[in-house]
Structure 1
Amino acid sequence: MLSLSWLPIVAWISVVSQVYASGNIRLHLMQYVNRDGRDIDGDRCDTTMGIKTSDCDPYFKLCIGSTGRSDCDIVNIQSGVYKNSNSVNFGSSFGDRNNPINIGFATWPQAGIRIKIQVFDDDDRSDDDLIDNLESLITDIPSSSLGQAVTREVLIRGKTQLFGSITIYCDDNWYGSGCDSYCFPQDDDTRGHFICSSSGEAICLPGWEGEHCKDDIDECASNPCHNDGLCVDGTNSFSCQCKDGYTNTLCQIDIDECLSNPCLNGATCVDVINRFQCICLSQYTGITCDVNICHDVICQNGGHCEPVSGSATCSCSSGYYGTRCENEINECASNPCHGTGSTCNDLINGFQCTCTEGRTGITCSELLYPETTSLPVEIMTSRNDPCSGSPCKNGICERVGSSYTCHCPPGYTDMDCSVDLCSLDRLVIAVPVYVPSWVISVIVQMAHLDLTVPHLRI
């Protein structure tokens, strides 16, 4: 494509007819292209002895007129010169005029308008050469306003071509296909009450009629109010004053007494003639279901009141019983704790067993030493956890009630597993503890010792 750079050297010279505008033409000239750089006769614009010396120096004469006339009765404009430019990008202005060019017209010609553009090559030392005659017929019907206007592209071709766009629309308050019908909306008692149609005709505002829409319409003339309601006329409106027992705009509906939501606490309201009836939820009673059946019933110990067949009943929390849940269930009554000497402590919705020595488990049903002798264990006490001080030197500590027992690995003995059997010349067992017979046998075999009764305190 040829360069779009241009250099205007002459200001626009324009002659625009002074008209009382009812509409506007918005012509946007975008780009002109002379691809061959020749004039209308096919000759190059600027040559010396038949050799091209530069591109054309175009300027433009824009003429817009009615199709039935040969003159430029709408606009006649001449541009400046664009030196050495076979391609022109017009930009946002034409000398002292803005681009797009706004052109007012008094009445839009029914047959349309004709756009004629003559393109000349400016020659300093001779008559200017005609490059091209560009012409286009525009038959669009003006839009009713700028906001509704449609812009369409225009391509005008001859030996050269020009690109642009055009928008045609009526001024405010001008209507019709020729923008020749004037209508200005009014809304007062002196000039009338109307708006304007797309063709410029007055359309009365609602509630008005007659010449210039000055007569108020009596909306009560048709007796719109039902059931002997009183009609009050207004501007484009009326209101009905209903008799007792009726409602709605036209007094045609019997009053729904349930509209005021008289039924409380989630009750269902049933409309009856001139009254209502409430269907209450199970825990409420009364005409409007405002009385809570459980209101004066206090259920103790976390119980809650439930309505049953129209009366209040307490549903007790676990561990309680009674009309008001006032009694606690004694879970120790069934003697759940095993073993002589074990005691049961009644709790809320439960119990706790304090087991006798040698028993464990929730109900003391498990024996701690099922394979030992019946001799009592010597208990070592601790202020807190008896195993917290790691009393078992080489074994595992097991808490037994408030005491503990040490489980020694092979090769160690004593109450705290501190005696290494392999380091003793003789084995002396003097610990008051339950010693199973099989343990003694293992110890004897490991130590190869002669176990005598005086050394074993059992």
Structure 2
Amino acid sequence: MHWIKIITVTILTLFVVANEVHSSGLFELRLRYFNNDYGRDSEGNCCSGISDPQTGKCIGTCKTRFRVCLKHYQAKIDTTSPCTYGDVVTPILGENSVNLTNTQKFKSKGFTNPIQFAFNFAWPGTFTLIVEALHDTNNSANARSSSLLIQRLSLQQVLEVSPEWKTNKSEAQYTWLEYDFRVTCDPHYYGAGCANLCRPRDDPFGHYTCSDGGEIICLTGWQGDYCDKGKKIIIFSIEI
């Protein structure tokens, strides 16, 4: 029986440690609309490299994909430093202007919107986001080596955990991009940084549910830090 107690204590210890240090959540970026009516890159040149000699209008279109870089907060944004929270490059999603709200349309291209960045640390409440609209110059699968910059947005800000989307619009000389973002906790994770883990259970290691803030609430008849101790029931008898 002694070894059974040791195993039980070990499991409970691991559970307590996991409850204290693990966290989990998602940063989501939802691209909505990208507008580039003139078919030009960030320098004002035609993506196709060809323009009408009379009107100056671009002949041909851009082949637009996006790169998204999420990283820790930087007071001075460095677009060349590593994307510490994640780095995603999409397939080609359209030509000059792209309506990205029809999510079903892009699934066949292997693109899921919103773009998700999972994290397994306490959300710090701040972030740096870089989104680049790129013209693919040769339909290459290697977008990083065959892309021309159309527009880049860079921002850093405070963002609390919330199910509500924050809508932004970034405008450049020839283009604009509308997008949303938010941070949410995964199921069973709570708190400002998604750092509180509470998973309801009713077994030998605990008998409880969870509050909206992730606090343990013992089921009826149980007590203790992890609701693993039965409450004593005192029965009074009266002799007549």
Band of TM-score, shorter chain: 0.5 to 0.7
Higher relative CO (CA 8 A, sep ≥ 6), structure 1 or 2? 2
- Residue of structure 1 in register with 2:191 after alignment: 176
| Letter matched to residue 63 of structure 1 | C
Q: Give the superposition deviation at 1:59.
A: 2.3
Q: What is the CA–CA distance in structure 2 between the aligned matches of 1:48 and 1:180, rounded to whole Å?
A: 55
Task: Report if aligned partners of 1:67, 1:111 keep a CA contact under 8 Å in 2.
Answer: no
SS in 1 for 2:123: coil
* Closer, same or farther: CA 154–242 of 1 in aligned 2, 3 Å: farther
Matched length: 199
> Matches of residues 402-413 of structure 1 in structure 2 within 5 Å?
none
- Residue of structure 2 in register with 1:41 after alignment: 43
- Residue of structure 2 in register with 1:115 after alignment: 129
> Matches of residues 67-86 of structure 1 in structure 2 within 5 Å?
67-68=73-74, 70-82=81-93, 85-86=95-96
Alpha-carbon displacement from aligned partner over 1:185-222 (angstroms, at most 9, x marks no partner): 2234x2122223344332333443224223333465xx
* Closer, same or farther: CA 105–209 of 1 in aligned 2, 3 Å: same
Q: Give the superposition deviation at 1:21.
A: 7.5
SS in 1 for 2:84: coil
Which of 40, 48, 57 aligns to 2:63? It is 57
- Residue of structure 2 in register with 1:185 after alignment: 200
Alpha-carbon displacement from aligned partner over 1:223-270 (angstroms, at most 9, x marks no partner): xxxxxxx747xxxxxxxx898xxxxxxxxxxxxxxxxxxxxxxxxxxx
Q: What is the CA–CA distance in structure 1 between the aligned matches of 2:186 and 2:61, rounded to whole Å?
A: 42
- Residue of structure 2 in register with 1:283 after alignment: none
> Matches of residues 178-327 of structure 1 in structure 2 within 5 Å?
178-188=193-203, 190-218=204-232, 220=234, 231=236
Q: Give the superposition deviation at 1:131.
A: 1.6
Task: Report if aligned partners of 1:193, 1:213 keep a CA contact under 8 Å in 2.
Answer: yes
SS in 2 for 1:39: coil
Q: Unaligned stretches of 5+ in structure 2?
A: 1-21, 139-145
Q: Give the superposition deviation at 1:82.
A: 4.9
Which of 101, 105, 129 aligns to 2:119? It is 105
Q: What is the CA–CA distance in structure 2 between the aligned matches of 1:185 and 1:82, rounded to whole Å?
A: 42
Q: Is residue 2:28 matched to residue 1:26? A: yes
Same amino acid, percent of matched pairs: 27
* Closer, same or farther: CA 108–153 of 1 in aligned 2, 3 Å: farther
SS in 1 for 2:180: strand
Query: How does the TM-score come out when normalised to structure 2?
Result: 0.66
| Letter matched to residue 116 of structure 1 | I
Query: How does the TM-score come out when normalised to structure 1?
Result: 0.38
Q: Give the superposition deviation at 1:33.
A: 0.8
Q: What is the CA–CA distance in structure 2 between the aligned matches of 1:49 and 1:97, rounded to whole Å?
A: 34
Task: Report if aligned partners of 1:135, 1:156 keep a CA contact under 8 Å in 2.
Answer: no
Q: What is the CA–CA distance in structure 1 between the aligned matches of 2:154 and 2:181, rounded to whole Å?
A: 14
Structure 1 residue ranges (4+ consecutive) displaced by more than 6 angstroms after TM superposition: none
RMSD of Structure 2 on Structure 1 (CA)? 3.3
Which of 143, 147, 162 aligns to 2:177? It is 162
Q: Unaligned stretches of 5+ in structure 1?
A: 1-19, 144-148, 221-229, 233-240, 244-458
- Residue of structure 2 in register with 1:226 after alignment: none
| Letter matched to residue 56 of structure 1 | C
Q: What is the CA–CA distance in structure 2 between the aligned matches of 1:22 and 1:187, rounded to whole Å?
A: 23
Q: Give the superposition deviation at 1:133.
A: 0.8
| Letter matched to residue 184 of structure 2 | Y
Task: Report if aligned partners of 1:153, 1:166 keep a CA contact under 8 Å in 2.
Answer: yes
